[in-house]
Amino acid sequence: MKLKQPIKLKEIASFVNAKIIGDPDMEITGINEIHKVEEGDLTYVDFHKYYNMALESAASIIIIDKMVECPDGKALLVSDDPFTAYNSLTLKLRPFKSAIQSISESAQIGPGAIIQPNVFIGNHVKIGKNCIIHPNVTIYDYSEIGDNTIIHANTVIGSDAFYFKGREEGHYEKMHTVGRAIIEDDVEIGSCCTIDSGVSGDTIIGEGSKIDNLVHIGHGTVIGKNCLMAAQVAIAGKTHIGNNVKIYGKCGISKDLVVGDNAIILASSNVSKSLEGGKTYFGTPAVEAKQAWKELAMLRHLPEIWEKLKATT
């Protein structure tokens, strides 16, 4: 999330009750997670496994739960609970604002766009020209829809990220969503799809991509240009799908993965690790389709092989 106005470190430290290591007059211009930070951003880390990742990232300011050496050009905010500090800051900078009408006065809708009955359009939404938004679509605050895009009935764009931090047993604390959902030009999205906002960055559906009914796109995922996704595909958060990728029905793709350009994932496959582009994949876990088919052919002969083994013993 980029800020409208820069904020000085000492103001943030006072608000979250954290100790400053570095220049108190340093300014932040954005807030983001470790994997999406840019220079000027603030992020947080509360697990030693990710200390180096955060300290070596592009972030200018890091909320951290341990006194460590501050890298050159950065500043630290030392807090007993970085997650709560980060969450309270995002809540302050972008608080939830309830709707008072079906189409917010702050929404921008381009010329030629058709908005069917019972559509909800939240605060600060942008919709491009010549779009068609079908009945009962819900578009959450700050989402952006490009030109010539079609969204079919009952789809939800920009719902909260599914991101929770485990606390004591049986309790999870929700991270406040301040990211956006960005739908680029010439996209078509089917009925009953759900596309979550990024936690603090953006979920992006690339130009020209076409999505069937009943597809879920998790928070912070980036879909490339001219991709095709059939019904019941589910993609977890922070995954990157390249350009011209085809994903057939009922596929599941785990979080934090990369699927290369021009990959094809056949129906009912489950992807648990990153996949190279330009290849066809199948199975659980997904492997190159030719390999998967050979393995399945061998499995069909197992009863026969077993009977032969029994006969020789």
List residues with catalytic annotation. Answer: 219
HEC sequence for 277-296: CCCEEECCCCEEHHHHHHHH
Helix (H, G, I), strand (E, B) or coil at 90: helix
Kindly list the distances between the CA atom of residue 120 and the CA atoms of 136, 147, 153, in Å, as whole numbers in the listed order: 7, 18, 11
What's the CA gap between 159 and 124, in Å, rounded? 14
Residues linked to residue 181 through DSSP beta bridges, in sequence order: 203
Cα 224 to the center of its chain, rounded Å: 13
What's the CA gap between 147 and 139, in Å, rounded? 15
What's the CA gap between 205 and 227, in Å, rounded? 9
Q: Measuring CA to CA, which residue among 286, 243, 279, 246 is closest to residue 261?
A: 243
Classify residue 166 by burial, with Cβ atoms within 10 Å: 0-12, 13-18, 19+.
exposed
Q: Which secondary-structure segment (H or E) carries 3?
A: strand 2-8
Helix (H, G, I), strand (E, B) or coil at 121: strand
Q: Measuring CA to CA, which residue among 183, 93, 174 is closest to residue 140?
A: 183
User: CB–CB of 202/33 below 8 Å?
Assistant: no
What's the CA gap between 133 and 110, in Å, rounded? 12
Q: Measuring CA to CA, which residue among 168, 217, 165 is closest to residue 189?
A: 217
Sheet strand arrangement including 258-259: 108-109, 126-127, 144-145, 180-183, 202-205, 222-223, 240-241, 258-259
